[in-house]
Structure 1
Amino acid sequence: MAVIMLLKQENYEEKSLRKAVEDIFSCFIDAQTPIRPGDSILLKPNLLSASSPDKRITTDPALVKSVAEAVLDRYGRPIIGDSPGLDRFASVAEKTKMNDIARQLQIPLVELTDPIPVNPGPQAKFHRIELARLALESHMIINIPKLKTHAQMLLTLGVKNLFGTVVGQQKASWHYNVGLNRDLFAELHLDIYEALHPVLTILDGIWGMEGHGPGNGTPRFFGLLGASSDTLALDFTICTLLGVNLVHFPLYRAAMRRGMNIKIEDAYFNREMPQAFSFDKVFIPNLDSLHLLPSFLDGISKRFLVSRPIQNRKLCIRCRKCETICAAKAISLDSYGKLSFDYNKCIRCFCCQEVCPNNAIEFQKGIILKILDLFKSRS
C-alpha cells in the first residue's frame, strides 16, 4: 500500500518549509530508509531552463535548500544535480538561484554527465538506456519535481522529472526516436523510473504551472507539497487532484499495461486527505492523437488533423533556439525572420515551444481538437 503525504503550504517561507520537510523526512527517510553518515544523496530538482524562480518553470530553490539541510542534519552528503535540456548549465544554475543555495550550504551543484548503460529490468520496453553515472551510483536519490502541465505528456511530475538524468543531447535523440508516440515515450519514462527508484519524491506544488507547460504555461498557486516513496502513486494522486481522468495520462496507461495496478483509493494518506484540496478549472492541455489515419497517410494527418506549432512573428526575437533544439530538423529561420515548419518531419514534441524565451511559438489546433472544443462549448 502506497503511503502519500499531502501538505498545505502557503509559501516558500524558510521556517515553515523547513518544518514541512522535516515531517516528510521523519515519515519516509528516518522511518524507512535512514541516511547513513557519509551517504551521497543526489537531489534531483527540475532545472528545465535558465529561468528565474518566479516563472515557476523550475523547482523553487527554497525547497531544494530545505531538503539539502535535512540531509546535512543527518550527516549525509547532498549533491544538487540535473542535466538541463534547453540552456547551458552555468546559466541555469545562476538564473534559478541554485548557485546561491550551493554556495550558502557549501555543497556541490553539478551538471549530470558521463552516461553509462543500464538495464531497467525484465518489464522494460527499452532494455538499454544510458543515464548519468552520478544518478546510478549515488546512495540515494531524492527527487524534487515541479508541478506543471506538459503540452506533449499532459503533466510533468515525479516520474517525468527523472528524464533529466538522461545526459545532454541524448534527450533530443529520445524525443526524435520515440516522441511521436506518447505512450511509447511514457514507457521510456517508466523504464528510467524503474532503473533509478528514488528513495523519496517531494513535489513542489506550492506554485506550479498550468496551460502550455512545461516552459511557457501560466504560473498558478496550488499551495501543495506532496511526498511519497512511491513516485507513481504520488503522480497519479496529483493527476486526480487536478481533475484529470487517469486514462488520459500517458504514464498511467503505460503503468497499467505492465500490470502496475496502483489504486489511489487504497493509498494511506498521512496528513491531509485529497478532499482537502480543490482546484477550480485547471487549464490542462488537450492531447490529440498523432496517428489518426493509416501510416501511409501520416502526412495528411500531421498537416491538417493534429495540432501543430506556429510562429507569432510579433513576439519572435529571432534567437534561433527553436531551430537549434529541434531534433527532427523541422524548423528553419529565413533572413526575413520567418520560421518555416516542415510538418511532415515534425514529431510534435513541442520542444520548440519549451525553449522559446518569449512565447513566440504557439499552437494551431488540428481539426480533431476544434471539433472536441465545439462539443464542449455546446454541452
Structure 2
Amino acid sequence: MIASRSTRRRGLLLLVLLLGVPLFGCARSARTPAKPQPFVFRALNLRQQDAKGRPSWELTSPEARYDLQRRVATARQPRGVIYAAGKPRYRIQAGSGTVINDGEVIQLEGKVSIVVIGPQGATITGDRVRWTPSRSLIEISGRPIATDRSTRLTADRARFLIAEDKLELRGSPRLLQPGLNLLTREADWYPPSGNLKAAGPVLALRQQPGKPAQRLTASALEGNTREQVFDGIAPVQFLDPAAKTEIAAGRTRWNLEKQWISSAEPFTGRFDQLTVRGKALEANLADTTAFIPAGCDVRQPGEWLQANVCRWNWTSKEVQAQGAVRLEREANRQITRSEALSGQVGKDGTVEFVSPGARVFTELTVPPRAPGPARKRPPVSF
C-alpha cells in the first residue's frame, strides 16, 4: 500500500531523528516553559521513494539544525542525488540549504550545482534554487548558467523540469562560445542529450579580429550543444560587413566546431557587385570560402554566368566556375561556353572571367551597319 504524503513526511523526519544526536534539548519549567531550542544533528539524511518503491531523491548534510515547531531544517553543505526510474540521474550540491515541512520544499543557496551523472559532465549552476520534489521542479532565480563542453547558456531565470530533463531558460537567454554570442527570445535545453530548441528571433554575432562582427539571424534555432551543430530555421540571413557579403537562405546548418555553414535549400546572395543564386550552399568561415554544389548563377553589371558548380574566396576575391559554364555578355550579345572559367574581383566589385587553359567557344552577334547614303566608288584609272 502506498503511504500518504503525511505518512511519507513522518518517515523522512523519523530518519532525521534516528540519524541525529541532539546537542540541545527542550528544557521545561513548572511555571514558564522555556523557548524550544533547535536540535543540532551530526548528519542529515532524507530519502524519498517513488510509487514503485524505487529511490526518487535523497539529500544529506554533515550538520543540520531542526526546528520541531516550524518543521524546518537548516543544513550545511547539503548534497543530493535525483533518480530517474530508480537510477542516479543528477547530483546536486550547495553551500547551505533549508528543508521545509520535512522535504516538501528544499531551498538551496551558495554556488548551487546540478550535474548530469555520467561522462557528459553537463552542469547547471545558480546562486538560489527552490526545489519542490513533489512537482519534480527546480526553480533557479540567481544567475542560472548551463555549461556543456565549450558552450555556456545563460539567462535571467530558469526552471528545471526534472521529469522531462528540460531546462527552460527565460529572460534574455544567450549561448556563448569563444568569439560567439547568440541571443534568442527563449530556449529549452535538455542536459542529458545536449539538445537545444530556441524560439526566435535569433541573432548570432561572430567576432572577427579587427573587423566588424559577422551576423546570422533566423526565426528559430534547433541543435545540440554537445555536437555543436545548430539549424537556423528560415528565413536565415548571414551578413559579413567586412567582405560586403549578404546571404539569404532557407533552413541552414551551422557547425560551430568546424565553423561551417551549409544549406540544402535554394539561396540568394550578394558579394560586392555580384548577385549569386544556387540550389545549395556550403561556406567555410574559417578560410572564408564558399561553394555552390548545384545550379550556380552569377550576375554582375553587363554579364551573366551559369555553371554546374562555383567556388569563391571572399578574402582573396578569387572566383571559379566549373561544368557547362555559359557566360553571356550584353556587349555584342557575346556568349562564351567552356568547361571552366576563373576570375578575380576587381576594385569596382566585378569579376573579369578568363579561361584557365580550357577550350572556349565564343559566339558574337555583330550589329548591322547603320543605314545611310550609298558610298561613291572612286574613279578607276588605267
Q: TM-score range by the shorter chain?
A: under 0.3
Q: TM-score, normalised by structure 1?
A: 0.21
| Structure possessing the higher relative contact order (Cα contacts under 8 Å, 6 or more residues apart) | 1
Q: Which structure's residues are more often strand, by fraction?
A: 2
Q: Which has the larger radius of gyration?
A: 2
Q: Which structure's residues are more often helix, by fraction?
A: 1
